[in-house]
Amino acid sequence: MNKMGSIFQKNFARLVIFIWIFLGRCLPFGFKISALFFHFKQKSDYSRLKERFGRSTVKRSDNKIFWLHASSLGEISQVVTLVKKLKSKFEIDIIITTATQSGSDFVHKNLPDCTHQFAPFDSVYFYKSFINFWKPDCVVILENDMWPGMLSTLFSKNIPIFMVNVRASKSFKKFPSIYSNLLTKISRFHCRTDVVADQLKDLGVSDNLILKGGDLKSVEKLPQVDTSKIKKLARSFSGKKVLIAASTHKTDEKIVLEAFKVINSRKNWVLVLAPRHPERASDIIKSIKKYDFKVYQRSLNNELKDDCQVYVADTLGELGILFELGNIVYLGGGMGSEGGHNPFEPGRLGKAIISGPNVENFAYVFDALVTANACIIVKNKKELINSIKFLEVSKRSIEMGKAAKKILNNFSDPTENIVNLIDNYLTEQKQSYG
């Protein structure tokens, strides 16, 4: 690109960000309407709606505050160990924000000593209210969920911003000038891999601001499961082979259902389908019924009978239970544009993983798994059918699961380095947390 084109793109990016911030500042009503629709779509408590507008529903403690922000369950579920180490290192309280109800539920269940609030919609007006109340000493953003209004407000108040476990992003490549501008507001970065670090450097981030290596998703403890629930489901599926399809989207479900129709010709299989977004359950069940499968829905708590062919697990926080029902896991997000989903949990549980090819969010993990013959990548229905038939021999699925477990348990833990990154920066800024 020539110099004039580059200047035009940078100025255009500044204009786009300016317009977005201007709308949030001067027309917050439009953001309120969006927040209202989103809040009720999430089936969140009405009494907490005002959190979306930056108004707290709980009291602030007198302690210093660190603010952790993540988009949803997939991002916030990786911070349990990090939170413990931050609290051990600094005398602080932690407030956690997520956009979704599932993220809120996770915090209340797994991090009861932290405060959860729904993230304000991205209006400077809302974020000023939020920040003026909580007065955070720093902000830790999990992965890539940054917004112009949020960053602009924090930056204007000289609040340090850390981005941790940053992953590769199509958006970085699609809108480089916009992200190049936004990233100037970030104090320090932690990236999973050198590839992600290079992507940030291409956007103008200085190498000395970046900590490289390790993935928070690899260090979280595997979920504790209710063995009585496992035994109950296992009895219901007794005598049948089980295929688990986890974190699925519409594109995944179509190919999985078509493949399942072929492998289940003798009706000796059960498909356990756990969608990424359980609120889609009614639409998913409509699609399933087109294949004439007998379907049961977990959230309805109906008694399971021997005729169950597809079991829609439309609940949250139960993947640990579902993974114990079989050895073969089709992991969603790799057939469409989602970028793939986290293979650490099924892999560390010793499951044989099958995924679609579009896994750029976890490319470095899948590369390691494929190299060790610890997972299978499929591109279409035929390849999926062949892979399931191959893994149907329990010895093969068990061996592949063992290989996955070995590979994933060897990934490095970045938690201590992230805590030191934050500590060193705050020390440089002469903030004391003793």
pLDDT in tens, 241-297: 999 999 999 999 999 999 999 999 989 999 999 999 998 999 999 999 999 999 999
Q: Note the pLDDT of residue 221.
A: 79
Sorted by sequence, the CB contacts under 8 Å of residue 345 that are 6+ apart come out as 222, 223, 319, 320, 323
| pTM for the predicted model, two decimal places | 0.87
Quick one: 239 and 341 in the same domain? Answer: yes
The reply to whether 75 and 176 lie within a common domain is yes
CATH number at residue 95: 3.40.50.11720
Compute the distance between CA of residue 164 and CA of residue 188 in angstroms, rounded to an integer.
8
Residue 81's SS3 state is helix
User: Within this chain, do residues 41 and 190 fall inside the same structural domain, yes or no?
Assistant: yes
> Distance between CA 236 and CA 311 in Å, rounded?
11
Helix pair 381-391, 250-263: axis angle to 10 deg: 60
Number of domains in the chain: 2
Percent pLDDT > 90 in the chain is 79
Q: Is the pLDDT of residue 3 over 80?
A: no
State whether 334 and 190 are in the same domain: no
| Separation between Cα atoms, residue 288 and residue 308, nearest integer Å | 12
Contact 102, 75 (CB under 8 A): no
**Residue 433 pLDDT:** 57
CATH number at residue 330: 3.40.50.2000
- For 161-186, the pLDDT digits (tens) are 999 999 988 888 889 999 999 999 99
* 6 found inside a domain: no
Residue 249: which domain range? Answer: 227-408
Q: Are residues 174 and 273 in the same domain?
A: no
Tokens for 35, please give them.
């927040």
Copy the structure tokens of residue 189: 């970065």
What does the DSSP 8-state code read for residue 203? T
Q: Are 119 and 101 in contact (CB under 8 A)?
A: no
Query: In terms of domains, do 341 and 239 share one?
Result: yes
* Domain contains 433: no
175 and 141 fall within a common domain: yes
**Looking at the domain assignment, is residue 8 inside a domain?**
no
Angle between the N-to-C axes of helices 124-134 and 148-156, in degrees from 0 to 180, rounded to the nearest 10: 50
Report the 10 Å Cβ neighbour count for 348: 21
